[in-house]
Structure formats: C-alpha cells, structure tokens
Amino acid sequence: MRLVLEKRAEHSRLMTVVSPLLAIGLSLIAGSIMFVMIGVNPAEAIYAFFIEPLTSTWSLEELVVKSAPLVLIAVGLSVCFLSNNWNIGAEGQFTMGAIFGSIIPVLFHGFTGPLALPAMIIMGALGGMFWASIPAFLKTRFGTNEILTSLMLVYIAQYILDYLVRGPWRDPDGFNFPESRLYEADHTMWMLGDGRMHFGAIFALVAVIAVWFMLTKTIKGFEIKVMGQTPRAGQFAGFSRKGIVWFSFLISGAFAGIAGIVEVSGTIGQLTPVISPGYGFTAIIVAFLGRLNPIGILFAGLLLGLSYIGGEAAQVTLGMTDKTTSVFQGMLLFFVLACDTLILYKVRLVKPQPTAGGAHERV
C-alpha cells in the first residue's frame, strides 16, 4: 500500500477554505510536541501565544502595531504572487524604505512642519520601489530568476543599513552607539490613542481596501490574475508580460517601503542596525495564509502578529527564547504550503499491482 497524489480536474473549493484551518491545526499539534521536547507545558505555551495577548488593552494595541507592517507588506506581495512573480525580497525593500524615508530626519532634520512626515512616507515608498525595480529589471531584461535576486538584495540592504548607522549617519551625540540621531516630533508617525498604536494601522487598512478593489473591480486586477494563471491566454488578449512584472514589483516594493518608514518613525524613532524582526519574510506566510486575498490577509496578519506578541509573552512567563517563535512560524509556513497541495491534488491509497507472470523468472 502506498500514498499517491492525484491531480484534481479543477481546484477544490472545499480545500481552499479548509486548508488554512488544517495548517493551523497541524501547527498547533507540531508546536505542542516541540514545547514538550523543550520541557514546557503545551497548554501553558499555547495560552501564552494566543490567549494572553488578548486579555489587556495594552496588548491589543501592541497586536495592531505588530500586525500593521505584516498586512501592509503582505498585501503588496499578494499582487506579485497572483501575477506569478515571486518577490521574496520584501525584507530588503522594507529596509530600503526605512533608509530612504530617513534621509529627511537624518540629513535634513531642520525640515519640519506638517509636510515633513508625508515627504518621509513618499521617500520610503520610492526607496522600496527602487529596490524592487532591480529584480524586475533583471527578470525582464535578462530572464534572471527573481527569487534569487530579490532574496540576495535583502542582505545587501541590511549591510547598507549597518554601514550607515555605524558610519556617516551615526549620531554625533550618541556616545558612539551604532544608531542615527533621534527623530524630531514632526518626523514621528501620528499616534492613535495614548499607547504605541500609530497611523500605520490606517495605512494597512487603506492598502487592503485599495488592493481588494483593484483585484476585483478593475481591468488591471483581471490582467494580473490572467497573467498569473494562464500567461499564454493573457498574451493573446494583448496583456504585457513585462508590464505586469514591473507593475507587481513596484506595487509590492512601495508597500514594503512604506511599512519600513512607518515602523522606524512610529515605533523606533531612529535608525538602528536591526529595525525588523523579520516582517518581510513573515509577510510571505501572511500572504499565503490569507489565500492571497486582501481581506484574508488582514485576518492572517492579525494571527501572525498575535504570534509575535505571544512569543514575547512566552519569553517572559515561560522563559522561552525568541528562536522558539521563529520555529513556530516556520512550522506554520511549512504546513500552509503543504496543505495548499490538497487544493490541486487529492491523496489516494493505492495497492501495488501484481506482476503479470507472478515471480520474476530467472535468466
């Protein structure tokens, strides 16, 4: 007896809905086994990850703070993935958005007033678009694999950030610490309430609504889907393959860049060698867990944001390391991708067929 994957005649609508739920369930089971292996009570760990952060107003605001960049980046990535362009470098575009947006508060800190922050956001979007345009150009001009180029550019962006905060952008009054000057009040993100929740949540909601409208109500959205699913049919319809590559990468880069400058100006208040806990990579999980649907991405972003807050709570209450959170998120990505296979394939149990002549004849 053996298991085989048999291709379905058409996508399974049932598994499209069940697959994310199945992935979450399997992640909880595998995570519980991991918690037992490291000597932690699974029930206490799952409570710390998913229940404890929902029990106070402060943690709910932190959930929004953590989820906003994930949703913003993932919505942009969904446009790329739906068009069959695999942008894996959102983390680098996030970093470059933070760098470009920080040009004003670091180099032109005298430029203040109501236009300063909007200018920073525009600069952040341009930074992300610039970094995303590199793999787009390499793919359309030379046919280079965008997975490799976008991923490698992540590390280049991180080295650029590290060089700047340790070198020319280091705060002269910062006692030689590797960090930029603190941003002025006009260079920090507009706050929502008395906690740390800021206007980045509004940007994420606007991005969700705008991309949902584009994908469902416009010709451009239809073009993206057609070129992603049946490129040959799209070419017969007169759609431009290169145009879709550029459009999807620039949209994705713009959203990641905005997320970068929003995170720096809203949460950190300056540039440091590390400005992201891996938002750009985690957003890939968010995009697929949300079925590449902007509305689904909103809820998936809240779920993954909950894992960040829960991971921090587990470190405090149960003494776990931050690596445990990363492993748990990795498990979730693995099961999401594995369960997605069931949308296109069904599992069958096959009995081995006996040979025609019985036992093999000796020669």
351 part of a folded domain: no
Boundaries of domain holding 197: 65-346
Report, as ranges of residue numbers, the positions in the chain whose pLDDT lies below 50.
361-363
7: β partners: 345
Residue 286: name the closest of 114, 78, 3, 129 by CA: 78
Number of structural domains (the chain) is 1
For residue 165, the tally of other CB atoms under 10 A from its CB is 25
Residue with tokens 């280079």: 144
137 part of a folded domain: yes
185 part of a folded domain: yes
Contact (Cβ atoms closer than 8 angstroms) between residue 70 and residue 304: yes
pLDDT at 357: 55
Residue 70 burial by Cβ neighbours in a 10 Å radius (0-12, 13-18, 19+)? buried
pLDDT at 176: 86
pLDDT at 361: 47
96 part of a folded domain: yes
Q: What is the CATH number of the domain that holds 99?
A: 1.10.3470.10
pLDDT at 221: 94
34 part of a folded domain: no
3-state SS, one letter per residue, for 3-69: EEEEECCCCCHHHHHHHHHHHHHHHHHHHHHHHHHCCCCHHHHHHHHHCHHHCCHHHHHHHHHHHHH
What one-letter code names the amino acid at 20?
A: P
3: β partners: 349
11 part of a folded domain: no
pTM of the model: 0.87
pLDDT at 362: 47
354 part of a folded domain: no
